[in-house]
């Protein structure tokens, strides 16, 4: 794994505009950054990332049965009592899920270490599945990358296929919702709607705030039609806390991701995974946090923190770091395993699971060891180890 400088495509901004990729620049700062790429060998991809992703996914799925049948475990994961039966029922019915992203620290040597599972509202999807793919095509065509350069990225195909599998089981109408003001989230649901429609599954978009609740406890669109299925790019635990949340269990609404994803998109899963697979090469030691001063060599993360918020690091060398944010509540501790640094950049590998298949990666790098919402998306390629390090063409 190497970080290699490469010439940007001259027209990438025009291309982004053309395909509706608006959030390539956020508040004037680059989010899409193709001034460099990460080069992997095929062995690194298949042995160190793809296979472990499948394994971790299976370990996580293997825990769901146990968690949903245990009130004590639901309690540990801070899942509100009012939703526990509904969550368990959605698992017993095996309501289908769409996707998830596993975040790994990986430096090209030795096992990738799982930081967390984003199994409810993973983003950075369009850029990984589509724009990254296009980048590789263009750079191969221009001769800046070898003609046989490859990429671990069949995410787009996997999404279209998965939507085709879901089509018959989702009660109509299907809607896609995200909060109105988030351009990134709106872009992500636009892409998912696109993938669904390529599979013949059509769904309209609605701002999450526009969803209505009828007197008989069903959710409606702006036209008062009862919503059958809802893809919501919005955390389940936030739905639970919202005013309309308490109507969910009796509403008959089919959710994507389904309610049982609440037990996987929860950092409490990390200590549970560690308890059952202690010493697994891709897992970091983890435990539920009991509060108090964080010992050296540990990281504290709230159960539901996102975008690297409210993370506290106490590194083995005594150095302390923390990030601000709006999250509170119970936390876990995870053994500190800092991200590798490549020329002062700290990449985190997001490994995509669609359905139950590992189908690609996207890399976000930050200037700090905590990957925040300021992280930039940097493309990757699979190239032969002896390929030249810089291409100008």
Residues 151-170 touching another protein, rule: CB under 8 A, are: 151-157
Per CB under 8 A, the list member of 222, 296, 328, 389 interacting with another protein is 222
Which phi-psi region, left, alpha or beta, contains residue 360 (left: φ > 0; alpha: ψ -120 to 50)? left
Each residue 352-371 as x (binds another protein by CB under 8 A) or -, in order, gives --------x-----------
H or E segment to which residue 14 belongs = helix 12-18
Q: Rounded to an integer, what distance in angstroms lies between the CA atom of residue 178 and that of residue 184? A: 10
Query: Exposed e or buried b for every residue in 323-341, given b needs 16+ CB within 10 A?
Result: bebebeebbbbbebbbbbe
Round to whole Å and give the CA distance between 235 and 212.
Answer: 18
The region of 13-21, 83-91, 311-319, 336-344 touching another protein under the rule CB under 8 A is 13-21
Please say whether the beta carbons of 372 and 383 come within 8 A: no
Cβ distance 309 to 346 under 8 Å?
no
Residue 183 engages another protein in binding (rule: CB under 8 A) = yes
84 binds another protein (CB under 8 A): no
188 binding another protein? (CB under 8 A) = yes
Q: Quick one: which of 54, 78, 179, 321 contacts another protein (CB under 8 A)?
A: 179
Sheet of strand 36-40, all strands in order from the earlier edge strand to the far edge: 2-5, 36-40, 380-382
- Contact window for another protein (CB under 8 A) among 1-9, 138-146, 241-249, 336-344: 241-249
Given 306, 314, 333, 345, the residue binding another protein (CB under 8 A): 306
**CB-wise, 161 or 314, nearer to another protein?**
161
Q: Do 198 and 144 form a contact (C-beta atoms < 8 A)?
A: no
- Is residue 323 close enough to count as binding another protein by CB under 8 A? no
**Candidate residues 89, 107, 307, 372; the one interacting with another protein per rule CB under 8 A:** 307
191 lies in the site for another protein, by CB under 8 A: yes
Q: Does 292 bind another protein (CB under 8 A)?
A: no
User: Strand 331-335 vs strand 298-302: parallel, antiparallel, or unpaired?
Assistant: antiparallel
User: Under the criterion CB under 8 A, does residue 266 sit at the interface with another protein?
Assistant: no
Closest distance to another protein from the beta carbon of 143 (Å)? 19
- HSE-up of residue 132 (Cα within 13 Å, Cβ side): 30
Under the criterion CB under 8 A, does residue 104 sit at the interface with another protein?
Answer: no
Here the tokens at position 122 are 């993973």
In the region spanning residues 32 to 71, those forming contacts with another protein, defined by CB under 8 A, are 42, 45
Q: Is there binding between residue 134 and another protein (CB under 8 A)?
A: yes
The one segment of 64-72, 90-98, 116-124, 256-264 that binds another protein by CB under 8 A = 116-124
Q: Decide if residue 229 touches another protein (CB under 8 A).
A: no
Which residues neighbour 341 within 8 Å (Cβ) at sequence distance 6 or greater? 369
Using the rule CB under 8 A, give the single segment among 63-71, 75-83, 212-220, 282-290 that binds another protein.
Answer: 212-220
Whole-number minimum distance, CB 361 to another protein, in Å? 10
Per rule CB under 8 A, is residue 211 in the interface with another protein?
A: yes
351 binds another protein (CB under 8 A): no
In order, the DSSP letters of 115-183 are EEEE-SS---HHIIIIIHHHHHHHHHHTTSS-TT-B-SB-HHHHHHHHHHHHGGGSPSPEEEEE-TT-H
Of 205, 315, 335, 387, the one binding another protein (CB under 8 A) is 205
Residue 372 as a binder of another protein (CB under 8 A): the answer is no
């Amino acid at each position: 794994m190497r970080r290699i400088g490469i010439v940007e495509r001259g027209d990438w901004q025009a291309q982004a505009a053309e395909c509706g990729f608006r959030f390539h620049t956020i508040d004037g700062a680059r989010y899409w950054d193709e001034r460099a790429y990460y080069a992997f060998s095929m062995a690194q991809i298949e042995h160190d990332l793809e296979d472990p992703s499948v394994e971790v996914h299976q370990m996580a799925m293997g825990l769901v049965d146990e968690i949903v049948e245990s009130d004590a475990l639901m309690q540990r994961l801070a899942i509100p009592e009012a939703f526990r039966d509904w969550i368990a029922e959605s698992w017993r019915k095996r309501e289908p899920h769409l996707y998830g992203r596993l975040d790994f620290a990986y430096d090209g040597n030795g096992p990738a270490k799982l930081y967390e599972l984003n199994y409810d509202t993973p983003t950075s999807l369009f850029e990984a599945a589509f724009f990254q793919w296009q980048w590789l095509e263009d750079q191969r065509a221009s001769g800046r990358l070898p003609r046989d350069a490859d990429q671990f990225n069949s995410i787009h195909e996997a999404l279209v296929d998965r939507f085709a599998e879901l089509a018959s089981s989702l009660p109509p109408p299907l809607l896609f919702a995200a909060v109105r003001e988030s351009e990134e989230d709106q872009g992500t649901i636009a892409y998912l709607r696109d993938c669904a429609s390529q599979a013949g599954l059509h769904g309209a978009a609605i701002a999450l705030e526009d969803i209505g609740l009828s007197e008989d406890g069903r959710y409606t669109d702006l036209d008062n039609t009862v919503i059958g299925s809802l893809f919501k790019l919005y955390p389940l635990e936030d739905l639970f806390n919202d005013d309309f949340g308490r109507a969910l269990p009796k509403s008959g609404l089919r959710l994507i991701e389904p309610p049982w994803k609440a037990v996987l998109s929860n950092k409490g899963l990390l200590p549970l995974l560690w308890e059952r697979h202690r010493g697994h090469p891709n897992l970091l030691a983890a435990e539920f946090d009991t509060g108090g001063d964080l010992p050296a060599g540990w990281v504290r993360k709230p159960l539901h923190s996102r975008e690297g918020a409210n993370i506290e690091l106490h590194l083995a060398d005594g150095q302390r770091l923390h990030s601000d944010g709006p999250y509170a509540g119970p936390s876990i501790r995870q053994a500190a395993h800092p991200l590798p640094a490549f020329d002062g950049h700290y990449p985190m590998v997001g490994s995509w699971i669609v359905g139950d298949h590992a189908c690609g990666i996207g890399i976000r790098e930050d200037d700090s060891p905590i990957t925040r919402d300021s992280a930039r998306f940097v493309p990757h390629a699979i190239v032969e180890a002896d390929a030249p390090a810089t291409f100008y063409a």
